[in-house]
Amino acid sequence: MQKELQALLRVLPSVEELAQSPEMASAVAMYPRPLVIEAVRTALTEARRAILGADAREAGEGGGAQEEGVPAVLRSLVTPGALAAQACERLEIAARPNLRRVLNATGVVVHTNLGRSILASQAIERVVEAAAGYSTLEYRLATGVRGSRHEHVEDLLTELTGAEAAMVVNNNAAAVLLMLGALAHGREVIVSRGQLVEIGGSFRIPDIMRVGGAVLVEVGTTNKTRLSDYEAAIGPDTALLLRVHSSNFKIVGFTEEVGIVDLSSLGASRGIPVADDLGSGAIATLDVFGEEPSVEESVSAGTDVVAFSGDKLLGGPQAGIVVGRSPWIDAMKRHPLARAVRVDKMTLAALEGTLRLYRDPERAVHDIPTLRYLNRSFEETLGLAEELEERLRGRLEERGETDDVGGDEPRNWVTLSVEATGAKAGGGALPLLEVPSHAVVLRCAEEAGGQAVAGGPSVAEIERRLRSAAPPLLPVVARVGRDALFIDVAALAEAELDLVADTVSWAVRS
Ligand SMILES: *Cc1c(COP(=O)(O)O)cnc(C)c1O
């Protein structure tokens, strides 16, 4: 056999021969030559290593015992066709974008890891236009002079929130940082101990205070802070009273917080500005938002500066939106940090496109995906889940891979059902809020504990495959729980159901 292995090594094509083989022609036409050569070289190196590996094993086992010769697998691995296929796959994977579309079947609508909000089609059109051509980003067509990038959305924001002035920066973390730098540098900011929150890894209120150059003055306790606590802490160095929305957690039980109305009147009576880091910043008033404070409420309470995210409950692009009284907003626009955290034109275009939809609240809920998803009824999500189950069943039945079809089928791999779930708004908004939703639930047939039926994949294996789906399939991110895979429809568009069914049926049977 060793001889045969040596012979196999000798018949391997050269890099140049393989690169010029007919099997590589389409790849050569599609990819830059250096990449093709590199992929071909790697395929050949791996083939050589596989042959030598078999050779070494052979020697280790005493060699020559099996006169039948080289395993068929190895033989098929080193044919020119197989080598070319290897190289082409390598090229295809390398050409695949890293930032890729996925289907969000997690049941978390504003999923930070999956890009938070997806844009309304009107917003997408604006982005494409801003990206493809020169624009009026900082230019006034009427007078032919320089303008400000803040102008494009300032009127819309003041109109929608009732505030005097507005500006937009890169994200809400930047908005809070800029606010502290412009309004409280080297001075004291009073915050309730119940609001010293961490919003995901690197954004912690005490840290952001330090970076913003402000001195944090904590008042009250974790569960109770009263107006008198703020009053007692106000001194000559107080620059700001700050309320922070405890976005991602809730303290329940024996609690007391000072509302923004009371805090704002205290600030007004002492001549100290009051700021509100609202986090999610809802402009729409959906029933499901419940007690989530809206931007308008905060502004009408007389708050001087209100900061919130563009891509949480607003349903727009990543952005930090600041609305409030002109003197403070102007101070922020003039601050040197403003340039470092400024918003880019594509974001502005998307934000303008999104905000314009809010002029008609019904339109906003209909056209902005985040709002549309959160506003779905129990019945609507049930309908979507049943539709998805049916399409999935159809695809699996073609191959006989569910248990309740074709009773004679030997491969009873999975069962499908539709179950009610509680989806999440997510994105640090409404931590306890569950939105009624439904999921298609996939279990491995006839076996508890998520174990695979002989020959079939386990729930964990199917979940892994869903994430690894390659084009033209889209990866599906789903939730594993209670020995089952939950494919939640809360954050899926109707038009995505077929795509989900394609990937899931592939994952179950591949
Ligand atoms: C989400 C959040 C932030 C950070 O906003 P980004 O837009 O993610 O930068 C800051 N403060 C609060 C209260 C938040 O909920």
For the residues of 265-289, what is the DSSP string, one character each?
A: HHHHHHT--EEEEEET-B-S--GGG
CATH class of 118-367: alpha beta
- Residue 448 scores a pLDDT above 50: no
In the chain, residues under CATH classification 3.90.1150.180 are 103-110+376-509
Rounded distance between C-alpha atoms, residue 497 and residue 474, angstroms: 12
- Angle (CA) 364-368-373 rounded to 5° is 110
Average pLDDT, the chain: 90
Ligand 1 centre to CA of 381 (Å) is 29
Backbone angles phi, psi at 96, to 5 degrees: -70, 130
| Structure token digits, residue 170 | 């890169």
| Site to substitute for ligand 1 among 176, 192, 196, 203, most atoms within 8 A of C-beta | 203
322-343 burial: b if 16+ Cβ within 10 Å, else e:
bbbbeebbebbbebebbeebbb
In the chain, residues under CATH classification 3.40.640.10 are 118-367
Which segments within 409-481 are labelled E, that is strand?
414-426, 429-444, 476-477, 479-481
DSSP state of 134: -
H or E stretch at 168: strand 165-169
Rounded distance between C-alpha atoms, residue 264 and residue 261, angstroms: 5
Which amino acid residue places its CA nearest to atom 2 of ligand 1? 279
Kindly list the protein residues whose Cβ atom lies closer than 6 A to any atom of ligand 1. Answer: 171-173, 176, 199, 203, 244-245, 247, 277, 279-280, 309, 320, 428
- Residue 274 scores a pLDDT above 60: yes
Q: Which of 239-243, 268-272, 307-311, 402-406 has the lowest mean pLDDT?
A: 402-406
Nearest to 329 by CA among 164, 100, 99: 164
DSSP state of 145: E
Q: How confident is the model at residue 457 (pLDDT cuts 50, 70, 90)?
A: confident
Ligand 1 centre to CA of 173 (Å) is 6
Helix, strand, coil proportions of the chain in percent (round to 5)? 45, 20, 35
Rounded distance between C-alpha atoms, residue 359 and residue 354, angstroms: 10
- Residue 398 scores a pLDDT above 90: no
Rounded distance between C-alpha atoms, residue 510 and residue 466, angstroms: 11
> Residues of the chain with pLDDT > 90: what percent?
74
CB-neighbour burial class of residue 480 (10 A; exposed 0-12, middle 13-18, buried 19+): middle
CB-neighbour burial class of residue 99 (10 A; exposed 0-12, middle 13-18, buried 19+): exposed
Ligand 1 centre to CA of 183 (Å) is 19
Query: What pLDDT, in 10s, does the model give residues 458-476?
Result: 899 999 999 999 999 999 9
Residue pair 185/191 in contact (Cβ under 8 Å)? The answer is no
Length, in residues, of the chain? 510
Query: What is the Cα 73 distance to its own chain's centre?
Result: 42
Which amino acid residue places its CA nearest to atom 15 of ligand 1? 279
CB 374: neighbour CB atoms within 10 A?
Answer: 29
Q: Which atom of ligand 1 sits closest to the CA of residue 112?
A: 8
- Residue 404 scores a pLDDT above 60: no
Strands 188-192 and 139-140: unpaired
> Given the structure tokens 């003041």, which residue do they identify?
158
Q: Which atom of ligand 1 sits closest to the CA of residue 309?
A: 7
Residue pair 97/497 in contact (Cβ under 8 Å)? The answer is no
CB 128: neighbour CB atoms within 10 A?
Answer: 13
Predicted local confidence at residue 402, as pLDDT: 57
For residue 128, give every residue at least 6 positions away whose Cβ sits within 8 Å of its Cβ, in sequence order, or none.
none
Structural fold of domain 103-110+376-509: Aspartate Aminotransferase, domain 1 (3.90.1150)
Predicted local confidence at residue 428, as pLDDT: 62
Ligand 1 centre to CA of 258 (Å) is 20
| Structure token digits, residue 450 | 């998520």
Coil, strand or helix at 290: coil
- Residue 443 scores a pLDDT above 50: yes
Predicted local confidence at residue 430, as pLDDT: 65
Q: Which of 19-33, 338-352, 432-446 has the lowest mean pLDDT?
A: 432-446
Inter-CA distances, 151 with 119, 137, 170, 204, Å: 22, 9, 16, 31
Question: Got the DSSP string for 380-393?
Answer: HHHHHHHHHHHHHH
Query: What pLDDT, in 10s, does the model give residues 123-149?
Result: 999 999 999 999 999 999 999 999 999
Q: Which atom of ligand 1 sits closest to the CA of residue 175?
A: 9
Q: How confident is the model at residue 153 (pLDDT cuts 50, 70, 90)?
A: very high
Ligand 1 centre to CA of 191 (Å) is 16
Question: Got the DSSP string for 317-373?
Answer: SS-EEEEE-HHHHHHHHHSTHHHHTBPPHHHHHHHHHHHHHTTSHHHHHHHSHHHHH
Rounded distance between C-alpha atoms, residue 149 and residue 342, angstroms: 9
Nearest to 299 by CA among 486, 117, 145, 162: 162
Query: What pLDDT, in 10s, does the model give residues 280-337?
Result: 888 988 888 887 889 999 999 999 999 999 999 999 999 999 999 999 999 999 999 9
Ligand 1 centre to CA of 43 (Å) is 47
| Structure token digits, residue 425 | 């708004």
Query: What pLDDT, in 10s, does the model give residues 37-90?
Result: 999 999 999 999 988 887 777 776 654 444 456 778 888 888 889 999 999 999
Ligand 1 centre to CA of 315 (Å) is 14
Predicted local confidence at residue 407, as pLDDT: 43
| Structure token digits, residue 504 | 């899931």
Q: Which atom of ligand 1 sits closest to the CA of residue 197?
A: 13
H or E stretch at 197: none
Residue pair 246/222 in contact (Cβ under 8 Å)? The answer is no
Residue pair 209/203 in contact (Cβ under 8 Å)? The answer is no
